[in-house]
Amino acid sequence: MAVHRRNPLTQRRGGGVVEPSLYSIRLRKEELDQARKAAGLRSDYALARAIGVIRSTVTRVFAGELQPSGAFIAGVVAVFARFDRYFEVVRGQTEVVVPGVDSGRAPQGDVDDVGRARRAA
């Protein structure tokens, strides 16, 4: 799997340009994984139910394919009562994993808001 660096100043969503952001939120995977296991939430499904999102969201956030959404972050904070332990605010470009794209070349077409390569029609 390739890592595609997205310039936050040129993100597009639904045909329009998303307001530029120089910051993003990164999940501290190891810390959340330890906390969920300590709470008895052994599977992605159990964590998803506890924080109020679907299982595939948890799986994709942990795999780096999806940035944590507001609902994901709010659910984690509601269940585990800490933001700073499980997330960090980072400045600069956001890295997302683009499945099926060779690391030596950019994906054809655009990249959507969850990091999947959209093919040019």
What own/partner pairs with CB < 8 Å and gap ≥ 24 does 69-77 have? 73/25, 75/50, 75/51, 76/32, 76/51
pTM of this prediction exceeds 0.85:
no
At 26-63, the pLDDT tens digits run 999 999 999 999 999 999 999 999 999 999 999 999 99
Which domains, from first to last, does the chain contain? 2-95 (1.10.260)
pLDDT tier at 23, thresholds 50, 70, 90: confident
